[in-house]
Structure 1
Amino acid sequence: MPVEQPPYRIVDGVALIEVRLDNLSRLFNTLDPSPFSSRDLDASAEDYLVGAVEELHRQHPVRLRFTVAGASEEAAEQVKSAVHHYFAYRRWAMDRRIRALFREGRLALAIGLAFLIGCLTLSRIVVGLDLGIVGRILSEGLFICSWVAMWRPIEIFLFQWWPLASRKRVFATLAAIPIEVAQAEPDRPRPPAG
């Protein structure tokens, strides 16, 4: 069975995420008219970086290296700043999304608890009326409905927030990741075949 080559190099205990570009502008969304330092990353570049950090950042510290032909020092600094700025914004936006989700959860919890109390109270009243099997069916139906009303807040507070928090941590890692921009070595001419 062949040994699989790890997709990222580990250098001195640091996982190196390497991206080769023929031009630094390929890193950014071409439809975004913002100044270079504030532009959005290209969607495929963002997906690659996020996926790499999700895979690596729990096992190793990470570093990002862009290898580009003919990148000036000024352009290299702008790229570093733009990548950090972009992921800081994504972290901030994810934080807002999490806060909005918890607000929604608190509202759903308040509504759910009020409905739960109302249904359980009605269920007890129906049981007290001694309506026989009809009363028992109504009582059980109200009991079930009361807990169904709690579904949404339970979903939010137990399950829905933590994938968002995990993504926020990835964005925070990328907002502070050490970045280097290296010059690509020029292509060497190949010797003639013969």
Structure 2
Amino acid sequence: MFKFIRVPRPALRRLSKAAAVATALVVMAPAQASLTNINAFLTCRHAQLTEFPGTIVDAAIATPQLSTLVSLVVAADLTGALSGKGPLTVFAPTNDAFAKVPAPLLDLIGSDPTLLTKVLTYHVTTRNADPRRSLIPSQVPSLQGQNLFLAFGAEGATVNQSVASCKGVKTTNGTVWLIDSVLLPQFK
């Protein structure tokens, strides 16, 4: 059986105002976070691509922070494929991204041409893939065969677990997006 307690009217008003303020704060916090994310999304999405008058390989060679990637592409004999007809999209790990890979793993990948080719082709798709445009996560097939997952979240534009630069480089045969980590396919 319930027993009702009589609350004086002034106390009830104070309680109602406090409840209204608390509710407003709870409701507004996620809305503010979402608004911030939408603003970041729009800013990133509208960043202009840099135009480069050569191929993806030419652009990578001209970018000092991609020297590790360039040396691996040469070692895997992929320069011809990445200089060919597009459109190609390359998610290019920077030198700093390769530095995050444990040395024994990087040595293993670099010493096995088949494994190296699988890892590098996992960074390439034959589609015009723009990670800045994916508020709803999407996927694109890589040249290696497995899918890459594109999204825009709290970290910004992402490809799998890597954060992509908002400013890509448009070349004569595709687009290059700098990413902050090396993408590794699932090995079977």
- Which range, TM-score by smaller chain? under 0.3
More helix by share: 1
TM-score when normalising by structure 1: 0.25
More strand by share: 2
Greater Rg, structure 1 or structure 2? 1
